[in-house]
Amino acid sequence: MRKVAIVGTGHTPFTFATEKTSIELFSEAAMDAINEAGLKSKDMQALYLGNCLGDFSEGQAMMQSYAANDIGAFHIPATRFEGACASSSLAVRDAFIWVASGFYDVVLVGGVERAASMGTSLATRTFAMFTDSHYEYPAGLTFPAMFAMLAHLYSHKYGVPLERLKEQMAQVSVQSHAYGMSNPKAQFHKEITKEDVLNGFMVTSPLQLLDCCPFSDGAAALVLVSEEKAKELTDKPVFITGIGQASSGRLSAQKDDLPRLRAREESAKQAYDLAGIKPSDVDLCELHDCFSIASLIAAESLGFFEFGKAGEAWEKGETKIGGKIPINVSGGLKAKGHPIGATGASQVSEIYHQLRGEAGERQVEGAKIGLTDTLGGDGVICTLIMEKGW
């Protein structure tokens, strides 16, 4: 298996509703990635595109074909990946496999979504399609309700009183917004306090409004190449060294494990084993904080903290720059935004720039290894590990 490097990235601002089409958004990110890599569109041998809801948001299916055409990468094989919020992470994983296998040398991969443009009602309804449509959604199990339920289960299982858990979750949101201030691509540039979170609108107990990520529009793209090709293009390659993917099925099938999502633990194990590292080797992490409780659950399952203790870690500053494991210094889904088809590629882009020392005010000094964690629906998990290559 060949080594696979990232040599270019592109990232639009994550925003509220935009007038740009998904094709226009992705083309912007894709051309930035191609240009940063020092390549041309004609050099791309394949396109892997994460997108969930183009048919609902703008009546556009087969988006991958039009995206390839729009950037001038004519006739290349183009494939769309749909894995709910993990869509572009799955696309990156497959792009890695194709390049590692030797079948391709240069692949363009990324994602795009116009979730904010759909409006709250349609976006909420279509997001809920990523739960089980026969049993879960008809019972009212939208994702805010699902993660509220997981918060109650977390409180009960680990003996964290609910009011105490709410305070811990509030710190997750406060930290994400603080880091979002220094990310020019982030949707929110506003610091918040713990009191802002705790006094906010109740969405579904115990989740307040500021415990929840927004609907967002945006795109992100990456250029993946073989190690040999990377040597021609850059003296600062970032290698993908670990990949993992696992699925859990509907929540009822996971009842004995909740609030843990065992698919995450399996996906992370695959990635750690392939990279030959352990959790303590990771210098920073971009994880899936669609709701603040999701951060605690993910950080524990990735091996960074003991189960039931992640909330204390956020309160102590262990997840900040300079702490034990900096988490979501991009602002995360909560402040950076969450255009679901683009989120995974955006997480990888952040790690790429961190490992190259290009993250500005939010730079994690000396970072050599980074990890991304992306959750899709009831439990499609993708874990990616990247390492500094020089």
Give the active site residue among 85, 285, 290, 382.
Answer: 85
Domains along the sequence of the chain with CATH:
4-120+215-238 (3.40.47.10), 140-213+241-388 (3.40.47.10)
Q: Are 39 and 13 in contact (CB under 8 A)?
A: no
Q: Exactly one of 290, 338, 353, 382 is catalytic; which is it?
A: 338
pLDDT in tens, the chain (390 residues): 999 999 999 999 999 999 999 999 999 999 999 999 999 999 999 999 999 999 999 999 999 999 999 999 999 999 999 999 999 999 999 999 999 999 999 999 999 999 999 999 999 889 988 988 888 888 888 899 999 999 999 999 999 999 999 999 999 999 999 999 999 999 999 999 999 999 999 999 999 999 999 999 999 999 999 999 999 999 999 999 999 999 988 888 888 999 999 999 999 999 999 999 999 999 999 999 999 999 999 999 999 999 999 999 999 999 999 999 999 999 999 999 999 999 999 999 999 999 999 999 999 999 999 999 999 988 799 999 999 998
For residue 274, give the 3-state DSSP assignment.
helix
Is position 338 annotated as part of the catalytic site? Answer: yes
* Cβ within 8 Å of residue 80, ≥6 positions away: 49, 50, 51, 62, 63, 64
Three-state DSSP state, 199: coil
Q: Compute the C-alpha angle 305/187/131, nearest 5°.
A: 60
What element of type H or E holds 273? Answer: helix 262-275
223 bridge partner residues = 8, 108
| Pick from 59, 67, 57: nearest CA to 88 | 67
Q: Is 220 helix (H, G, I), strand (E, B) or coil?
A: strand
Q: Is 19 helix (H, G, I), strand (E, B) or coil?
A: coil
